[in-house]
Amino acid sequence: MENLREFITSLEGKGWLRHIDVEVDPSWEIGAICRENFNRGGPALVFSKINGFKTPLVVGVLGSVPSYALALGCGSNFPEIAKKWESAFARPIKAVEVNAKEAPCKEVKLKEVNLYADPFPVPRWHPLDAGPELGTFHGVITKDPETGWINMGTYRNQILDKDKVGCLSPPYKHIAYHIRKWASLGKKTMPVAIAVGLDPYLNMVAVSGVPAEVDEYDIAGGLKGAPIKVVKAETSDLLVPTNAEIILEGEMPIDEFWPEEGPFGEFHGYMGEIQRNSPFIKIHQITHRRSPYFQGTYEGRPPHESGIARGIGRSCVLYEHLRRSGCPGVKDVCVTVGGAAGLHAVVSIKKSFPGHARCVMALVWGYNVLFCKHVVVVDEDIDVWNPFMVEWAIATRVQASRDVTIVENAHTGVLDPSQVSSKRGWSDWLGIDATIPDEHYKRDNSTFPPFADPPEEIMGKVRQNWSKYGLE
């Protein structure tokens, strides 16, 4: 799929997208509709009539596992999705630069910047938000001025003025690496572009925590199976996706800050705090496709679209991190949606040495882009995507004094509400070794109890005879 519009058409064909054609109020109604729709496991939505705007708003295109798999052209199951990500990391495809005349994102060039007018029908997603939040499901694009490494990530962009947006940039995020690099070269500003209304592959990578020094464009190309088409921005040498619905171009002051940004209803379900002296972006130029869509999503308590997209993508990225680390025996990874798609991870391993599970915990904690503070390690017989099985492993294989590890005063995301305001960014880490404690049984001159279930040979025969039992 080349763009958001093609994806919308595909979702419509499946019956997985609905148009809301009655007028809705962006100040309170849209966010509440999205919350209820995600609670019900509903379809993607296109709000066609938003009070005060002509531009339609798209929400929820990656809000389910089937829609995520549809974009990738694979089965609606985690093993097949994971294979697509593995292939993308193994065989990334470089973006291809095209001429500006071939770029739909440049069809219209606005004469003035006004983020309170079309094409920006940005709702107040939550009643307690400080203002309309432009950045919820988009890509903020920056570049390392020395190496050329391009980063595209989803960062909080509150509309602060008609030509300014905030940009929440914690020090462990890749955009912050770029800010520090530009500052080290004595630069006063950093070029920034914001792409809104993306193809599904760019949406996937922008929220997944791709490793540093790896271009999201290349991994998106690997997921797509073809190069992402990019074009040079109007006001800088940044490369932006040609098929985006809207492009905002500007610059971030290096040594100038906005007094307050936020609060905003965050991915974990609580209000994110006010950020004082926040980085911000001055917007100088806006281009867009003819009759563009604006794309955003509702953040908050799971389930929701970004939880699905981040949970799947971050699981695959974390698996890749563990693979690159050289850690043996890693079988599967799940960054759980219920754990806010970042705070909890479950990893299955083929255990091969004492302390193997703790090595895995340390490596997960060390991947600071994802801020996973709770890690459960299970044996390969446990499906990490099945919370029932994970709970069973914890209940039957864990002794707290033996198998629970706590590391005090470590790192976490700055938005983690479990930590008091004065200590945000710091957290204790919790690791649970829920693998079979066979080495401890050996020291006790005993063996762990065998499984009570019938062996697979017998179960296979029963499955073959299932229809004979009158059960189909």
d(C-alpha 240, C-alpha 260), whole Å:
29
| Of 35-39, 59-63, 169-173, the least confident | 169-173
The answer to whether 153 and 349 are in contact (CB under 8 A) is no
> 6-20, 48-62, 82-96, 358-372: lowest mean pLDDT where?
358-372
CB atoms within 10 A of CB 188: 11
Cβ-Cβ contacts under 8 Å for 367 (sequence gap 6 or more):
209, 318, 321
- Closest by alpha carbon to 3, among 260, 284, 288? 288
Per-residue model confidence (pLDDT) at position 118: 97
Sign of the CA dihedral with 111 first, then 116, 117, and 123 last? positive
Whether pLDDT at 210 is above 90: yes
From the candidates 133, 245, 266, 320, which is the catalytic residue?
Answer: 266
Strand partners, 316: none
Enumerate the domain spans of the chain. Answer: 80-295, 326-443
340: left (phi over 0), alpha (psi -120 to 50) or beta: left
Residue 266 designated active-site: yes
Q: How far is CA 435 from CA 45, 202, 329, 468, in A?
A: 42, 36, 13, 38
Q: Given a cut of 90, is residue 217 above it in pLDDT?
A: yes
CATH number of 326-443: 3.40.1670.10
Contacts of 245 by beta carbon, 8 Å cutoff, 6+ apart: 3, 4, 105, 119, 196, 197, 198, 288, 289, 292, 293, 294, 295
Query: Which positions ≥6 away from 229 have C-beta within 8 Å?
Result: 2, 95, 96, 97, 98, 102, 103, 241, 242, 243
Residue 281 CB burial class (10 angstroms; 0-12, 13-18, ≥19): buried
Task: Dump pLDDT digits (tens) for 391-427.
Answer: 999 999 999 999 999 999 998 889 999 999 999 889 9
Cα-based angle 389, 76, 11 (whole degrees, multiple of 5): 135
Residue 472 has pLDDT above 90, yes or no: no
Query: pLDDT value at position 147?
Result: 97
Give the C-alpha separation, 264 to 241, whole Å. 27
370: pLDDT strictly greater than 90: no
Q: Average of pLDDT values for 99-124? A: 97
Q: Residue 104: what pLDDT?
A: 98
The mean pLDDT value for 429-446 works out to 96
Binned at pLDDT 50, 70 and 90, residue 369 comes out as confident
Can you spell out the DSSP letters for 293-360?
PEE----SSSSSHHHHHHHHHHHHHHHHHHHHHT-TTEEEEEE-TTTTTTTEEEEEE---STTHHHHH
8 A C-beta contact, residue 329 and residue 351: yes
Rounded Cα distance, 199 and 241, in Å: 9
pLDDT tens for each residue of 347-368 = 999 999 999 999 999 999 999 8
185 close to 282: Cβ distance less than 8 angstroms = no
Rg (the chain; Cα; Å): 23
* Burial profile 196-218: b = 16 or more Cβ within 10 angstroms, e = fewer: bbbbbbbbbbbbbbbeeebbbbb
Task: Identify whether the C-beta of residue 360 lies closer than 8 Å to the C-beta of residue 431.
Answer: no
Q: Sign (positive/negative) of CA torsion 234, 240, 245, 246?
A: negative
Band of pLDDT at residue 306, cut at 50, 70 and 90: very high
Average pLDDT, the chain: 96
| Pairing between β-strand 426-434 and β-strand 404-411 as defined by DSSP bridges | antiparallel
Q: What is the pLDDT of residue 354?
A: 93
Evaluate whether 378 touches 333 at the Cβ level (below 8 Å): no
Predicted model pTM: 0.95
For residue range 39-55, what is the model confidence (pLDDT) as tens digits?
Answer: 999 999 999 999 999 99
**327: exposed, middle or buried (C-beta count within 10 Å: 0-12, 13-18, 19+)?**
middle
Model pLDDT for residues 254-271, shown as the tens digit of each residue: 999 999 999 999 999 999
What is the CATH code of the structural domain delimited by 80-295? 2.30.110.10
Mean pLDDT for 334-359 is: 96
Residues 405/358, Cβ–Cβ less than 8 Å = yes
Question: How do residues 168-203 score in pLDDT, each as one tens digit?
Answer: 999 999 999 999 999 999 999 999 999 999 999 999
For residue 371, what pLDDT is reported? Answer: 87
- pLDDT at res. 416: 92
- The pLDDT, as a whole number, for residue 275 is 92
